[in-house]
Amino acid sequence: MNEDFPDSTSESIEYGLEAATGAFHSFRKLSGERRATFLETIAGLLEQNTEEIISLADGETSLGLPRLKMELQRTVNETRLFAKLARTEDWRESRSDEAEPDRIPIPKPRLQSDNVPLGPVVVIGACNFPLAISVVGTDTMSALAVGCPVIVKAHPGHPGTCAKLSEIVKEAAKTSEMPTGTFLLLQGEDHRVSRELVEHPLTKAVAFTGSLQGGRALATIAAARNEPIPFYAEMGSLNPLFILPGAIRERSEEIARGYVEAINLFAGQMCTKPGILVLIDGPGVDTFLSTAEEATRAQPPIAMLNKGIRENYETSTKALAEKAELLAESETSPEISRNEATSRLFATEARSFLADPDLRAEAFGPTSLIIKAKDEKELLDLARQLEGNLTASLHVGKSDKELVDDLLPVLEQKAGRVLWNGFPPGVTPTPATHHGGPWPATTDARHTSIGLYGYRRFVRQVCRQGFPKEA
């Protein structure tokens, strides 16, 4: 247990959820303008405290100042996006049917449907995005925008950063005169804290970002409650790249360099890092492989989030090396004291990948597995047998149209976002963004955890029948 940030007690969890429930009845009734002002105040305070926030986050995560500055600005922009949503109240998605009292054979009543907020939302944020998927990330801001109080369980990898961000939200709540209990932060390294929050009968929805193991365990708890609740989890994803024969022939070296860069971006600690690459053995493949190997060997060691994550990376790549061929590794030795890791590139045959479930395990860090198929049929068979993913990418050449026509419908069943001649790390929060995918990428592929429509996780439709328009 962290002595500076001790685990929250069962009593504090009870108090927090009772306060959030009490706040809900007032918070949901506030005008969209009031909630928009609250969120805009948060955004302004984030900007005013940029230097302190970045310093704290860098000290706890080793992500580096440029990455964290970019992440904070993204978070500010997204907070203002949800402020606009709150002000317009478009989230209500209102629709109505007028009454037809003289309709035959039976009269039709007036019907009015609107979204209403669910109630207190628990947010369990990510280790690798201490700002954008944490205390002030999409989960929290989208819930607050639609009138749901929020309780955040701080990630033990950056408790000080979480505490500072919590202070900012609470200051904004006080300045904007939000109801007491609208927002609360709870610390917790022990899994008990998350478990009790999910189990508690006053919790009405949960947003989780983390491992498949953790997400599965909490999803089971949420479903087993006397009142089952929505549990929205983002978990593991391989994010496959499919490099088609025409693309290999036309630009093998360019794609290989882009692939290695995508693997190593932020030490591969991205939920959309391409964990596997699939191609058909043939012309251009040798050039592709040699370029990728050279680029991997030239990669400098990169500091990972913390010691535990680096150790998990070493364990997972060691297990992968027992099943696949190690093609290349960073030539510069890492500094273990800085939790640095080397980039590693592996290869196997499609038949081996299909036969061995161990090869499909996500390795969190700067590594990826190249899979060689013998022909188009084997490539398509592999695509059909993949589990769900956040992303899938197609690299296409002029001669690949027929294969694209066969492959694209498969990938649309396997991923929430499909990229054309691109690499998946990074996601832009916009109205058109969808960040989700079939299991095990998420627990509900219909919803996004990034972007404007993230709010739909925390509302439900209520239909009023026979009410006058002015009611």
299: Cα separation from own chain's centroid:
26
Distance CA 366, CA 346 (A): 11
Answer whether 27's CB lies under 8 Å from 179's CB.
yes
The answer to whether 271 is a known catalytic residue is yes
Report CA Rg, the chain: 24
Closest CA to 70 of 59, 58, 86, 80: 58
Tokens of 335: 């500094």
Q: Which of 127, 148, 162, 271 is catalytic?
A: 271
**Angle, in degrees to the nearest 10, between helices 65-88 and 32-48:** 170
- 433 CB-side CA count, 13 A: 19
Listed in sequence order, the residues at least 6 apart from 269 whose beta carbon sits closer than 8 Å to its beta carbon are: 128, 304, 305, 309, 364, 365
Which of 60, 234, 293, 378 is labelled catalytic? Answer: 234
Strand, helix or coil for residue 395: strand
Q: Which of 351, 431, 377, 453 is nearest to 146 (CA)?
A: 453
Identify the residue whose tokens are 């500076």: 4
CA distance 168 to 164: 7
**Cα gap 67→305, rounded to integer Å:** 13
Report residue 448 as tokens: 């996004």
Question: Do residues 188 and 7 touch, judged by C-beta distance below 8 A?
Answer: yes
> Crossing angle, helix 285-297 and helix 245-264, to 10 degrees?
10
Question: b vs e for 52-70, b when ≥16 Cβ sit within 10 Å of the residue's Cβ?
Answer: ebbebbbebbbbbeebbbe
Strands 344-349 and 325-329 turn out to be antiparallel
Residue with tokens 């709010």: 455
Cβ 327 vs Cβ 345: under 8 Å? yes
Which residues does 131 contact at the CB level (< 8 Å), separation at least 6?
Answer: 53, 57, 68, 71, 72, 74, 75, 137, 161, 165
Using DSSP's 3-state secondary structure scheme, residue 416 falls into strand
DSSP code of 446?
Answer: T
Active site residues: 234, 271
